[in-house]
């Protein structure tokens, strides 16, 4: 795989229709590499750790739109208020209430996606499919947290298995779109990563989160 960020971005942009948002997942990557993608025209970046996000938020250009894509602990919400373009990982009522409280205090709104554990995997966070409707009832009572769509990290599997999870998500998305819930509008279906974003787009994704494909492999210490 090429580690030239500019070439990687160009290649991916050629494969992603204009109607699909590309989130460059920059977790673990240094500012210099992020700036290469920035200079190639990218403005939307994804992080999954609060401290890393806040450090990058402080030091990188202010027109970057930051996406939070990891599990967000309630006790860290206070550090990210006002810094996120979109939270992809709304995954529980307690987190929802903390966000509502903290954003309320600052009189700000937060756009979010409900994370759905579509593969029902023990190791993953996200709501189970049968929990989504009750959760939305809680969202309807909020005034600062807005739901703009749904997000999934699907289980590893064959292309066929991937397709069936993506189809399931697309179906849930279309069903929710028909409803008329307070604070909820289905505009974003966030699914697809480096290994499967083409399949995800094929199945109706309109937001893909690509890390390795843009920045190369991650090295964890
Ligand atoms: C790391 C991560 C990605 C990007 O994964 P790649 O396989 O490197 O593209 C996408 N979504 C989430 C939620 C992630 O944590």
pLDDT tens digits, residue range 86-132?
Answer: 999 999 999 999 999 999 999 999 999 999 999 999 999 999 999 99
Structure confidence by residue, pLDDT tens digits, 52-66:
999 999 999 999 999
The pLDDT of residue 39 is above 60: yes
**Residue 221 domain-assigned (yes or no):** no
Which ligand 1 atom minimizes the distance to the CA of 193?
A: 9
Q: Is residue 24 domain-resident? A: yes
Beta-strand runs (E) in 30-109: 44-47, 65-68, 86-90
Considering the domain boundaries, does residue 82 fall inside one?
Answer: yes
209 located within any domain: yes
**What span, in angstroms and rounded, lies between the C-alpha atoms of 24 and 215?**
8
Q: How far apart are the CA of 190 and the centre of ligand 1, in A?
A: 11
Task: Specify the pLDDT at position 1.
Answer: 47
Best mutation site among 24, 209, 214 for ligand 1 pocket (most ligand atoms within 8 Å of CB): 209
- Residue 34: inside a domain: yes
Q: What is the number of the ligand 1 atom nearest to the C-alpha of 213?
A: 9
Residue 219 maps to a domain: no
Give me the pLDDT at residue 220, please. 79
* 16 occurs within a structural domain: yes
Instruction: Report the domain count for the chain.
Output: 1
H or E stretch including 100? helix 93-105
Taking the CA atoms of residue 141, residue 93, residue 68 and residue 211 in that order, the dihedral angle to the nearest 10 degrees is: -130
Confidence of residue 74 (pLDDT cuts 50, 70, 90): very high
Q: Within a domain: residue 147?
A: yes
Quick one: CA torsion of 84, 86, 91, 92, rounded to 10 degrees? 60
The arithmetic mean of pLDDT across residues 24-28, rounded, is 98
pLDDT value, residue 32: 97
Mean pLDDT of 8-36: 97
Q: Helix 5-15 vs helix 31-39: angle between axes, to the nearest 10 degrees?
A: 50
CA atoms of 127 and 114, how far apart (whole Å): 8
Query: Which CATH number does the domain housing residue 87 bear?
Result: 3.20.20.10
């Amino acid at each position: 795989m090429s580690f030239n960020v500019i070439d990687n971005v160009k290649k991916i942009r050629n494969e992603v229709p204009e109607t699909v948002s590309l989130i460059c997942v920059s977790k673990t990557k240094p500012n210099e590499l992020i700036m290469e993608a920035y200079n190639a025209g990218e403005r939307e970046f994804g992080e999954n750790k609060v401290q890393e996000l806040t450090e990058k938020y402080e030091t990188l250009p202010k027109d970057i739109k930051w996406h939070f894509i990891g599990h967000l602990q309630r006790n860290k919400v206070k550090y990210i208020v006002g810094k996120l373009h979109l939270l992809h990982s709304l995954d529980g009522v307690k987190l929802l209430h903390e966000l509502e409280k903290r954003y309320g205090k600052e009189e700000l709104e937060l756009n979010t996606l409900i994370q759905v554990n579509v593969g029902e995997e023990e190791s993953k966070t996200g709501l189970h499919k049968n929990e989504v409707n009750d959760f939305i009832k809680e969202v309807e009572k909020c005034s600062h947290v807005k739901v703009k769509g749904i997000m999934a990290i699907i289980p590893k599997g064959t292309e066929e298995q991937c397709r069936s999870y993506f189809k399931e998500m697309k179906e849930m998305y279309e069903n929710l779109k028909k409803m008329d819930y307070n604070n909820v509008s289905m505009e974003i279906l966030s699914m697809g990563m480096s290994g499967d974003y083409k399949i995800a787009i094929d199945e109706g994704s309109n937001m893909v989160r690509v890390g390795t494909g843009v920045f190369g492999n991650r090295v964890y210490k």
